[in-house]
Amino acid sequence: MVLKQWALACSHRCYSSLLSLYPIEFRIRFRKEMCQVFRDCCRDAVQRGSLKAISALWIRTLLDLGISIFRERGRALTTAVSLRDRTSGVVESMVILAIIIFHLLVAGTWIAHYLPQTHESTGGFFLVSAAMGAALGGLGMLCSVLLSRFRRIQYRLILF
């Protein structure tokens, strides 16, 4: 009985910690309910009478968590990228554009560096472009971090 109580307490704690992997908005909305449901499932498993039932519950739960965390993260990213919210549409576009330009220019600089140079000015041009791209990218990243902090939208995911 003591072992079961210990297993239950551990299970609740582990499950609650694993829920941190969900996107923050999903967590805020459903964390308590999900913990409650998991507690109910554990209670049922204990009533069935064995630690084997708790183990089976954990296997199912881990599979479900793996799939649903991946799906919810994907949805959060899609929500962040899609420009549904008119008020932040321009800022979102700027952030995404800045990040794209930054990556393109960095790639361009690397290509220019390794390709045989036909004109002397090519390297300089790409360096200036890269500096501008870096500045834009930095601004974009700053905006995205600020937005993710204040609006709880996961722009940070775009950066990785």
Partner 1 sequence: MTKRKQAKPETRVPEQYLPLTPAVFHILVALGDGEAHGYAIMRAVTQKSMGTVRLGAGTLYGAINRLLQDGLIEESEERPDPDMDDERRRYYRLTEFGGRVLAGETKRMADLVRAARSTSAVRKINLA
Supply the minimum distance, in Å, between the C-beta of residue 93 and partner 1: 17
User: Which pair of tokens denotes residue 45?
Assistant: 């498993």
For partner 1, give the closer residue by CB, 50 or 82: 82
Q: Answer yes or no: are the C-beta atoms of 83 and 93 closer than 8 Å.
A: yes
Matching residue, tokens 């999903």: 26
**According to CB under 8 A, which residues from 67 to 106 bind partner 1?**
67-69, 71-72, 79, 84-85
54 contacts partner 1 (rule: CB under 8 A): no
Supply the minimum distance, in Å, between the C-beta of residue 94 and partner 1: 19
Which residue from 11, 41, 42, 130 is in contact with partner 1, where contact means CB under 8 A? 41
Q: Of 109, 139, 142, give the one whose Cα is nearest residue 123.
A: 109
**Region near partner 1 per CB under 8 A, out of 22-30, 90-98, 123-131, 138-146:** 22-30
CA-CA distances (angstroms) from residue 121 to 92, 107, 150? 34, 18, 43
Which residue from 25, 53, 96, 134 is in contact with partner 1, where contact means CB under 8 A? 25
The CA distance from 112 to 148, in Å, is 35
Binding site for partner 1 (CB under 8 A): 22, 25-26, 28-30, 32-34, 36-38, 40-41, 60-61, 63-65, 67-69, 71-72, 79, 84-85, 153
